[in-house]
C-alpha cells in the first residue's frame, strides 16, 4: 500500500465527531474549542525520508521541520499560536548526540521565532535508530474569519499560485530548506479577497491540485504555458532535458499557496500588468470547472490528460 492509499484508509477509519468540523484530510484539522475553533496539525520529518543528515545540517532540518508545519498554517490562513516538538534522537555513546540535538532544536526555535510563535512543549527519546523531528502546531483564525479549506472552490473560479514552482529539491541548499512559510501572504489575501479554497503545495501541483479539486467536487483547466517556473526548475531542465514546465508540475516541496477566488476578485490580485500588490508574485494558472476532469492546456489550447503521479516520499 503506498503512502497516499494508506492515508486514505486511515481517514476512512476515523469516525465523524460533532466537535470536529474538519478532521483528517485538510491542511489542518478544525476543532470546536471554548467559544471558538482551534486549528491543529502534526507533521514529522524523518532522516532519509523527508531530510537527509548526510546532506543537510541539523539546524536546516530543525528549520524545515517547523516551516513545513507553519506552511500548513498558511494554507488555512490562520495564525500559529504555539508549537510542540518531539525528537527521536540517535544515541552517541551513553546519551543522545548532544550537538545534533542542540542544533536541530536551535533550528526549530529560529523558525518559530520568525513568526513569534512559542515552542511550548517537547519530548525527547534516545535510540540507536535515525532522527525523527515531529512538530505539532496550534493555530487560530483572526476574529470573524473562517479557516480556508480545500473544499470551497466553485466552477468559474480562477486558480492562482504564489511564487514559482519546481526544482525545490535540486540543491542541497534548495528551496525546500530555505522557503519561508506563506503565513503573511495568506493573512493578507484573506483580508482582501474571498478565498474560496486554499492549500499549500507540498507534493507538487500534479498531485496537490487533484486533492483540492476532489475536496471541492470540481475539475480544472490548467494552462501549462502559464505555470510560473522557478529558476531551479529551468536549471534542472537544462541538466535532465525534461521540460522545465514538467518540473513545475511534478516536483514536490514548493510550499507555495494554491487558491481559488471568484473572477471578480482578480482586479484586487492583479491591478496592473507586473504589479505585485501583495509583495509576492501571483500567477493565474487556470480555471475551476464543473466537469470533474483535470485538463492541461498547451499553447494551442489543445487538451492533454492531467499528468499522473507527482512527488511522493518513499
The contact set with a second copy (CB under 8 A) reads 1-3, 5-7, 9-11, 13-15, 17, 19-20, 23-24, 28-29, 31, 33-36, 38, 40-44, 46, 48-50, 81-82, 84-86, 88, 94-96, 98, 101-102, 105-106, 109, 118-127, 129-130, 132, 134, 136, 138, 140, 313-314
Q: Given the complex with a second copy, which of 120 and 292 has the nearer CB atom?
A: 120
Q: CB of residue 150 vs a second copy: minimum separation in angstroms? A: 15
Q: CB of residue 117 vs a second copy: minimum separation in angstroms? A: 9
Q: CB of residue 37 vs a second copy: minimum separation in angstroms? A: 9
Q: CB of residue 60 vs a second copy: minimum separation in angstroms? A: 18
Q: CB of residue 313 vs a second copy: minimum separation in angstroms? A: 7
Q: Given the complex with a second copy, which of 105 and 311 has the nearer CB atom?
A: 105
- Closest by CA to 185, choosing from 152, 154, 153, 148, is 148
Q: Given the complex with a second copy, which of 7 and 242 has the nearer CB atom?
A: 7
Q: CB of residue 133 vs a second copy: minimum separation in angstroms? A: 10
Q: CB of residue 21 vs a second copy: minimum separation in angstroms? A: 10
Q: Given the complex with a second copy, which of 95 and 271 has the nearer CB atom?
A: 95
Q: Given the complex with a second copy, which of 109 and 187 has the nearer CB atom?
A: 109
Q: CB of residue 71 vs a second copy: minimum separation in angstroms? A: 14
Q: Given the complex with a second copy, which of 3 and 290 has the nearer CB atom?
A: 3
Q: Given the complex with a second copy, which of 29 and 218 has the nearer CB atom?
A: 29
The DSSP result for the chain, as a single string, is --HHHHHHHHHHHSPP-TT-SB-BTBSSEEEEETTEEEEEEEEEEEBTTTB-TTTS-HHHHHHHHHHHHHHHHHHHT-EEEEEEEEEEEEEETTEE-HHHHHHHHHHHHHHHHTTT--EEEEEEEEESS--EEEEEEEEEPPTT-PPP-STT--TTPEEEEES-BS-TTSSTTSHHHH---THHHHHHHHHHS---EEEEESS-HHHHHHHHHHHHT-EEEEEGGGS-B-HHHHHHHHHH-S-HHHHHHH-----EEEEEE-GGGHHHH-SSTT--TTSS-EEEEEEEESSS-EEEE-TT--EEEPPP------
Q: Given the complex with a second copy, which of 126 and 180 has the nearer CB atom?
A: 126
C-alpha pair distances (Å), 234 with each of 193, 223, 245, 246, 310: 32, 18, 8, 10, 18
Amino acid at each position: 500500500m503506498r503512502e497516499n492509499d494508506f492515508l486514505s484508509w486511515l481517514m476512512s477509519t476515523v469516525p465523524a465527531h460533532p466537535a470536529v468540523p474538519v478532521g483528517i484530510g485538510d491542511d489542518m484539522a478544525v476543532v470546536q474549542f471554548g467559544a471558538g475553533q482551534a486549528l491543529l496539525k502534526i507533521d514529522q520529518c524523518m532522516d532519509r525520508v523527508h531530510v537527509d543528515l548526510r546532506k543537510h545540517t541539523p539546524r536546516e532540518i530543525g528549520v524545515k521541520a517547523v516551516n513545513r508545519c507553519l506552511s500548513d498554517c498558511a494554507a488555512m490562513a490562520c495564525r500559529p499560536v504555539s508549537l510542540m516538538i518531539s525528537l527521536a534522537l540517535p544515541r552517541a555513546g551513553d546519551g543522545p548526540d548532544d550537538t545534533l540535538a542542540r542544533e536541530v532544536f536551535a533550528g526549530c526555535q529560529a523558525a518559530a521565532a520568525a513568526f513569534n510563535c512559542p515552542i511550548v512543549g517537547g519530548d525527547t527519546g534516545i535510540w540507536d535508530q535515525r532522527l525523527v523531528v515531529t512538530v505539532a502546531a496550534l493555530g487560530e483564525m483572526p476574529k470573524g474569519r473562517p479557516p480556508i479549506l480545500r473544499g470551497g472552490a466553485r466552477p468559474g473560479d480562477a486558480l492562482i499560485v504564489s511564487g514559482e514552482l519546481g526544482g525545490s529539491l535540486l540543491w542541497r541548499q534548495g528551496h525546500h530548506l530555505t522557503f519561508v512559510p506563506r503565513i503573511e501572504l495568506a493573512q493578507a489575501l484573506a483580508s482582501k479577497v474571498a478565498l474560496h479554497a486554499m492549500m499549500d503545495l507540498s507534493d507538487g501541483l500534479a498531485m496537490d491540485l487533484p486533492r483540492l479539486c476532489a475536496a471541492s467536487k470540481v475539475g480544472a483547466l490548467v494552462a501549462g504555458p502559464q505555470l510560473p517556473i522557478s529558476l531551479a526548475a529551468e536549471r534542472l531542465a537544462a541538466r535532465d532535458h525534461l521540460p522545465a514546465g514538467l518540473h513545475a508540475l511534478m516536483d514536490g516541496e514548493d510550499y507555495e499557496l494554491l487558491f481559488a477566488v471568484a473572477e471578480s476578485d482578480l482586479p484586487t490580485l492583479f491591478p496592473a500588468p507586473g504589479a505585485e500588490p501583495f509583495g509576492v508574485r501571483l500567477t493565474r494558472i487556470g480555471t475551476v470547472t464543473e466537469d470533474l476532469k483535470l485538463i492541461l492546456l498547451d499553447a494551442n489550447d489543445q487538451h492533454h490528460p492531467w499528468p499522473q503521479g507527482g512527488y511522493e516520499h518513499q
